[in-house]
Each structure stands twice: as C-alpha cells, then as structure tokens.
Structure 1
Amino acid sequence: MSYPGYDKGPDPSAPAQPPPYSNVPPYGAPPPLLPSGGQFPTPSYGAAPIMPPNPQGYYPPYNEDPNRGPMGYAPQQVILVSPPPAKEIDYLGYSIFTLLCCCLPLGIVALVYSIQTRDANRAGNTAQAQRSSRMARIFNNTALGVGIVVLIVWVAVVITISLSAFNHY
C-alpha cells in the first residue's frame, strides 16, 4: 500500500532555504522612543541631559532624578584598619616534637590547637588565641608526660626480661 506523491518530496541533498527576512521586530517589540525630530538633542556643557519621555512607566533608580539624570555623590574615603595581631605562644615546635617522639594521639591534638593559635594570632582574635594556646600547652605537657612514663616502663620491662634471661642460664 503506497501513498500517492510519497516519492515526490524535497530533495534531501539540497540545502534548506532560510525563511525570508522580515522588517517586523520579533515578538512585537515596540519601536524605539524618539522625540519629534528623530534624534535626541545634545546637551550643552554643564546642562543636565534631557531624558526622553517614557510612557511605559519607567521608574528611575533611587539615586536618579528623571529630569536631571544620575545624581553625583562626593567621593568618600574608606579606611580599613586591621586588628593588631595577638602575641600568644603557639607551641608549634613543641607540638611537632610530642607528635613524633612522645605520644602520637595527644601530639596530633596539640598540633591542631597550635595551628588554631597561629590562625587566631593572625586574625587578631586574642581570646581565641589564648584558649588555643592554653589547650596546646596542656596537651603537649600531657603527651610529654605519657611519653616519659611509657619510656620508663619500656626500659624497666626490657631490663627485667634481660635479667631473667641472664639468670636462667
């Protein structure tokens, strides 16, 4: 079953022609608003520009007068004052030592507080720098104490095992 005229369509190898050009603005846009001479008058030196009539209900921005144009403001000076940096001790070297040599978990916590102290010092936040510095010192001292106790216990265990092995023979 075939349809009459089915084989007689446009040639698919031929390029499609674009639609014809139209002088009508797309979507029915209104023509531009010009005064009765076709051009806006040029303002003279020192005169405010003449604003075109706008029957569409244009509302100017809050700082623009439709009769005088944008209002100028006197330049303002902005002074940025950075807070003075805090001078709290950050115990960073002590934290790295306790991290590597004494007690790893407590050394990590002490290192985090040391970095927070350094950041608070740079931001000028003295209260936060004091809290973080105090916590870093506490965790560093605790890690050093734990490390010393573990070292003493380890030496005692090694000596005890060595003496018992020596007395056995």
Structure 2
Amino acid sequence: MDPSQSFYQPPGAYNSSEKSVMLQSAAAPPAYQDNPAGYPPSIPSQPVPQGPYAQGPYPGQAVVTVQPAVFVTAAPLANPAPDYLGYSIFTMLCCCFPLGIAALVYSCSTRDANYSGRRELAEKNSKTARTLNHVAVALGLIIIVVYIIYYFVLINNMNQRP
C-alpha cells in the first residue's frame, strides 16, 4: 500500500499491485534443512534482505534464536535403602492400623528419597519405617494373645457357674 494514499478505501476497491505482492509472499515454505544435532541453526541459512526495514529472512518475520531446554535429573541410587513397603502394607492391614499407616508414609518417603538421590534421608526414613513395622507387629501379636487369653478365661468362668 502506498503511504501517500489514504488508509480508507471504499468497499470493493483494491490495488491490484498490492494483491499481487501478497500472493507472491504467500509462496510455499522453504525446503526442510537437515540438522543432525537436532538443534536449530544459530545463523539463518536463507539470505537476509538488506535495507532499513529488514527484520529477518522473510519480510515482516523476526529472527528468534531458541536454545533447547536441558532437564537435569538426579539418577536413582545404585544401592538404594530398603523401603519396607510390603511389610508396611501387611502391618497396616493385619496388625495395627494406625502404626501401619505411619510406617506406610515413611516407606513411601524412603522410596521418594531413593529416587531423588538423597541417601541420608532414605536411610533415616527406612529405619523409621522398619521400627514402626516391628512395633506394629509386636503390638498386634500382644493384642491377639490378650484376646485369646480373655476368651478362654471368659469361657472357664461361664463353665464354672452352675
């Protein structure tokens, strides 16, 4: 569009030279360029137009250089601390529910610490989970033994009454 002309044009009126320029700029995209490293080229390989209004390899398109994202993750430990997850589930379901839940939480924390590479935290959580599991099993066994003794004492008392 010629800058000396007004921006307003009546409907149906257009400049044929402007339309032909638009059709020429809407040509097919450039051919694929193979880059074996997988990174975009740092310098555009198309010729850059020269002039006061040139912005990039194509008119009206800015050149943006993007650096690829690199994600750094910690590798899991080679010799992880035991998490006692199965033991925790067993004690939660069969022995002592509250202590089993606490042991399960510490077991999951041990697994997370092992995966993130924090050895000291994994060992601490592993020992806490093991201790809670042992206490839950012992408490569960004590409760079962006390219940059996109470049951036999109750039956003996009923049998002794006339």
Pair in the same fold by TM > 0.5: yes
What's 1:103 paired with? 96
1:112 shift after superposition: 0.8
Identity score, percent: 37
Bigger proportion of residues as helix? 2
Matches within 5 A, 1:1-169: 23=7, 49-52=49-52, 80=72, 82-85=74-77, 86-169=79-162
1:144 and 1:120 map into 2 onto residues whose CA distance is 25
Instruction: Give unpaired runs (5+ residues) of structure 2.
Output: 1-5, 9-44, 55-61
Structure of larger gyration radius: 1
2:71 and 2:152 map into 1 onto residues whose CA distance is 69
The CA RMSD over aligned residues, in Å, is 3.6
1:100 and 1:81 map into 2 onto residues whose CA distance is 35
1:146 shift after superposition: 0.8
* Runs of 4+ displaced beyond 4 Å: 45-49, 78-81
TM superposition score normalised by structure 1: 0.55
Residues 47, 154 of structure 1: alpha-carbon distance in 2 compared, 3 angstrom cutoff: closer
Q: Deviations over 1:126-157 (max 9, x none)?
A: 11211110110111011111111111111111
Aligned length: 115
